[in-house]
Amino acid sequence: MILLEPGNRILQETVGAQINWDPEEKREPIDVRLCDFDDVSYRVVVDAKAKNLMKVSMNLPCYKTIEQFGGKEAIDTHYQGLTADTVEGYDMTVEVNLDDCKDKEGTIKRIGLMKSRVVGGVFDFFFSALLKGGAPLAPFRFALRKDTEVFLFPAADRVTITFALDFHERVDKAVARVFMQEFVDCRRSLGAAPPCTWGVDPPAEMKHFNITQNTGNLGFITFAVLKSHLANNRKDQIVSVLQSFRNYLQYHIKCSKSFFHSRMRARVRELLLVLNRAKVITDEEKKNMKTITGKTFTRKS
């Protein structure tokens, strides 16, 4: 299986085109709007009145929920010196002086990772608290997207993360069940991997949120991240994987469906060839047959 890139490549290319602009060419104002997974949207603006300034804004539907649980801290940590007054309708804005950008490649990468950094800030917030020790934080939940909720249950030695998943299409649901079961089965052969469970019924920890029965969604997949999993500077890698888990799942479902369709089309072509070979030739067609050179002759009875 393929791990998705944590950043938005189109956003990086759009920002990179402005930062790496040839100084001998005339700079033009732009207003570009982009969309990302999880209903996230971006806006890149270079205003005609200040062509040396580029503003990049991001609208993250779950930001207000996660702002005090790692979201704001992630912005302050990763975008120090770039933050600007938030544009109306968006949740964060960064501003870059195109004439005085010291680290061009680093800035392009940082902006491309806006969504990854902010959403990952929630997981980083709880993992950092786990590594520091002390009393566990209170359980927390947030809606990553309309059909996916994330629940975090901190404990003294671990943080348990539960994804409540659902899909709109019936085929997506069927393929997703196979994927989820595969996660559980693979865990048995990987001794160092976080414990993983999958089921239709909510895990016992969900009682904290008064969820004791299935709410009509596809099911719940749970990962238990221990302190040992975060050791040796592996926290950032785990945060990156978890924050993109829903996108990873959606991507592989779409790839699987494309593979199924390509196999079906190939099978149909094979069946058409068989049918053509089995076609019955009438007596009239036999009388008017062609030679190997293409000449037509009439068979005399």
Tell me the pLDDT tens digit for each residue of 273-284.
888 887 777 766
Which pLDDT score is estimated for 66?
97
Same domain, 13 and 109: yes
Same domain, 70 and 179: no
Task: Going from the first residue of the chain to its last (301 residues), give the mean pLDDT of each consecutive group of 10, the final group possibly shorter.
Answer: 83 94 88 93 94 95 96 95 94 94 93 96 96 91 94 95 92 90 78 85 93 87 92 91 92 91 93 83 66 63 53
Residue pair 238/122 in contact by the 8 Å Cβ criterion: no
* Token reading at 176: 């997703």
Which pLDDT score is estimated for 185?
83
Which pLDDT score is estimated for 184?
82
Which pLDDT score is estimated for 284?
65
Same domain, 248 and 140: yes
Which pLDDT score is estimated for 181?
87
Q: Which residues pair with 154 in a beta bridge?
A: 159
Same domain, 57 and 146: no
Which pLDDT score is estimated for 61?
95
Residues with Cβ < 8 Å from 270, sequence gap 6 or more? none
The residue among 117, 152, 178 that closes a domain is 117
The mean pLDDT of the chain is: 89
Q: Is 141 part of any domain?
A: yes
How many distinct structural domains can be found in the chain? 2
Count the helix, strand and coil residues of the chain and give each as a percent rounded to the nearest 5.
Answer: 45, 20, 35
Same domain, 145 and 221: yes
Same domain, 84 and 194: no
Q: Judge residue 135's burial from the number of C-beta atoms within 10 Å of its C-beta, 0-12 exposed, 13-18 middle, 19 or more buried.
A: exposed
Same domain, 155 and 239: yes
Strand ranges for the chain from DSSP E:
30-35, 41-46, 53-59, 92-97, 140-145, 148-154, 158-165, 196-199, 219-226, 288-290, 296-298
Q: Is 282 part of any domain?
A: no
The residue among 88, 117, 146 that closes a domain is 117
The residue among 84, 117, 150 that closes a domain is 117
Which pLDDT score is estimated for 301?
53
Q: What's the domain range around 14?
A: 9-117
Same domain, 248 and 151: yes
Which pLDDT score is estimated for 119?
96
Which pLDDT score is estimated for 285?
63
Which pLDDT score is estimated for 195?
86
Q: Is 293 part of any domain?
A: no
Same domain, 83 and 158: no
Which pLDDT score is estimated for 1?
60
Same domain, 175 and 232: yes
Q: Is 126 part of any domain?
A: no
CATH number at residue 218: 3.30.1460.20
Q: Is 172 part of any domain?
A: yes
Q: Is 272 part of any domain?
A: no
Same domain, 172 and 64: no
Q: Is 279 part of any domain?
A: no
Same domain, 75 and 169: no
Q: Is 269 part of any domain?
A: no
